[in-house]
Chains A and B, each alone.
Chain A
Amino acid sequence: MLVLLLVLSIQTTLFKELRPFGVAGQVILLFVICAGIQFGISIGAIVGLVAGLMFDFVVSTPAGLGSIALGVTGATAGLYLYFFPSPIWWLRMISIAIVSVFGEMYLLIAQAMVGLGVVLELRLLTIIAVVTTINIVLSPGFFLITRWTLSERKKES
């Protein structure tokens, strides 16, 4: 939980400032994807739901919306372990790219479902491209963080 709070604080400070092409990187999304890819559907979904809930409380979108979107994203990422039980680094990278796209889309779909204004325009492609690229670049570090965080939790339980 503490690690999630730290990731959230990085999201709301550093990645609010670093905006390549005007797009904010989504490290919370990356954290959830890494958890899902390493620990499977259930852990991915739980981490996504909790991380999303925390994220919802610091943004102005309705609380719970990001939680559902990130929960589904975590579960989607967890499918990697179902299809490829042995870790192959380049397959993981491709999975991160694909799930990042899905993650952004889930958030948009969730917003549209509750009637929030969603503008579909070319900028959406830029957002997806930048978020995906940032996620791929940062993924090695985040794999280590999620592995350390969730393994510790495992031992404790």
Chain B
Amino acid sequence: MAAKNSTQRRAIILLTLTSIMLVTLDLQDSPRVAGLRSVFGSLFYPIEGVARVITRPVGNAWYGVTHYNKLLDENSLLRQQVAQQEGATVAAAASVRLSQELLALNGLPTLAGINAVTAQVIGESPTSFSQTIEINQGAESGIRVGMPVLNAAGLIGRITKVFNNRSFVMLITDPDFSISVKVVSTGRKATESTLQGVASVTTSTAVPLEPISNTPESETTTTTTTIPIAGFTAVVTTLPATPQGLTSITIPLASDLDVRETGVIQGNGPTRQPTVRFIDNSLRFGSIEAGVPIVTAGGSRSLAPPDVLIGVVSRVVERVGSAGPLLEIEIAAELTNLSFVRILLYQPITEKKSP
């Protein structure tokens, strides 16, 4: 009996020390712990697969019973939304295409230039405290820790653990999630002003193709931009062939272009909206209003490329002192019903290993 107790005590001490050592190593991102996880995952995955096949009907039945009415309502709502958005999609696709062309023309990085992997969501976190999902693509598909994960609506999270053929994604609502973002706000209202050597300057949303001129058509060069690019208004620039023939020139004022402030978005759990902090107290564009879009900031150290949509500002909490305002964000993506996601195979320059 005493020997048995002694053995049990030794086992408890050994296991406790092992656990403490693992916590210490894992918090320092030790590759050994990652290796252990990977080995255990490889062993456990077939067992889990069998269990999934056996338990899926039970899960489906439960889902059918508990979500049937909600599913019907959601279905009819989605049909309406699809009908509304079908038209808008065509216009949006054209805008995106033009935007990408413009960015490429100016040598700026675009999302279209980044390879992506599509993955299926195969499970949520087995605990109720962490906001993670599991996807069915892993290191074999080129996925690495830190890569941004999107769905059709925008950013949903980032990769936190990678195995050979599955990965874990930390959702944007997880309290440990944070990423640098830009708050995009349109500038002050357009004002009419006069430029040197130009009779008048007007800003217009109209898209006339003919030059506004009294001179013969053959003497005028016309440059037109017809599709609005997200954030600023398309304008017509009409340049005269000769100074004498000048009538009007329409260009966007600097103050009409998007002005951006940067901050850091942080998750606050599933029931509370994420918040953006570290916004400069003295904003260049005045005050931030609800509805303003939030996109990733990008940069050499950011884990996500620039201009990935995250959501819109739902509430601005003003704070005293120099802390700057706190922004509550309504995420564009619906995180509760994720089926397929896209992983951008993007790594910032600082993370890329030299060959």
Binding site for B on A (CB under 8 A): 5-6, 8-20, 22-24, 26, 42-43, 45-46, 49-50, 52-65, 67-68, 71, 107-108, 111, 114, 116-119, 121, 123, 127, 131
Contact of A6 with B47 in the complex, beta carbons under 8 Å? yes
Which residues of chain B are within 8 angstroms of A56 by Cβ–Cβ distance? 22
CB distance from B48 to the nearest CB of A (A): 5
CA distance A112 to B29 in the complex (A): 18
Contact of B269 with A123 in the complex, beta carbons under 8 Å? yes
For this complex, 30 residue pairs linking A to B, each with C-beta atoms less than 8 Å apart, are A9-B44, A9-B47, A11-B126, A13-B51, A13-B56, A14-B58, A16-B124, A17-B58, A17-B62, A42-B5, A42-B9, A42-B12, A46-B12, A53-B22, A59-B126, A62-B26, A63-B23, A64-B21, A64-B22, A64-B24, A67-B19, A68-B16, A68-B20, A71-B12, A71-B15, A71-B19, A117-B174, A117-B267, A127-B129, A131-B128
CA distance A49 to B17 in the complex (A): 10
Contact of A60 with B130 in the complex, beta carbons under 8 Å? yes
- Minimum CB distance partner of A117 in chain B: B175
Which residues of chain B are within 8 angstroms of A50 by Cβ–Cβ distance? 15
Which residues of chain A are within 8 angstroms of B175 by Cβ–Cβ distance? 116-119
Contact of B127 with A12 in the complex, beta carbons under 8 Å? no
Contact of B132 with A60 in the complex, beta carbons under 8 Å? yes
CA distance A53 to B51 in the complex (A): 20
CB distance from A112 to the nearest CB of B (A): 11
CB distance from B60 to the nearest CB of A (A): 8
Contact of A118 with B129 in the complex, beta carbons under 8 Å? yes
Contact of A63 with B129 in the complex, beta carbons under 8 Å? no
With known contacts A10-B55, A17-B55, A46-B11, A60–B126 Cβ distance under 8 A:
no
Which residues of chain A are within 8 angstroms of B18 by Cβ–Cβ distance? 53, 64, 67
Which residues of chain A are within 8 angstroms of B50 by Cβ–Cβ distance? 9
With known contacts A108-B129, A127-B128, A63–B168 Cβ distance under 8 A:
no
Contact of A60 with B128 in the complex, beta carbons under 8 Å? no
Q: Is B63 engaged at the interface, CB distance under 8 Å to the other chain?
A: yes
CA distance A9 to B56 in the complex (A): 12
Q: 0/1 per residue, B120-143, Cβ < 8 Å to A?
A: 000111111110100000000000
CA distance A49 to B62 in the complex (A): 32
Q: Which of B33-41, B68-76, B280-288 contacts A (4 or more CB under 8 A)?
A: B33-41
CA distance A131 to B20 in the complex (A): 26
Contact of B124 with A64 in the complex, beta carbons under 8 Å? no
Additional A-B contact list (20), CB under 8 Å, known A16-B123, A49-B19, A68-B23: A14-B59, A16-B125, A17-B63, A19-B124, A22-B128, A23-B128, A26-B127, A46-B15, A53-B19, A59-B127, A59-B132, A62-B22, A63-B23, A63-B25, A64-B18, A67-B18, A107-B129, A116-B175, A118-B129, A123-B271
Which residues of chain A are within 8 angstroms of B26 by Cβ–Cβ distance? 62-64
Interface of chain A, main secondary structure: helix
Q: Is B188 engaged at the interface, CB distance under 8 Å to the other chain?
A: no
CB distance from B303 to the nearest CB of A (A): 16
CA distance A45 to B56 in the complex (A): 32
CA distance A121 to B41 in the complex (A): 32
Q: Is B110 engaged at the interface, CB distance under 8 Å to the other chain?
A: no
Q: Is B320 engaged at the interface, CB distance under 8 Å to the other chain?
A: no
Q: 0/1 per residue, B157-181, Cβ < 8 Å to A?
A: 0001100000010100011100000
CB distance from B162 to the nearest CB of A (A): 11
CA distance A14 to B16 in the complex (A): 29
CB distance from B202 to the nearest CB of A (A): 52
Contact of B272 with A119 in the complex, beta carbons under 8 Å? yes
Task: Select one of B21, B160, B168, B272 contacting A121, CB under 8 A.
Answer: B272
Which residues of chain B are within 8 angstroms of A53 by Cβ–Cβ distance? 15, 18-19, 22
CA distance A126 to B233 in the complex (A): 48
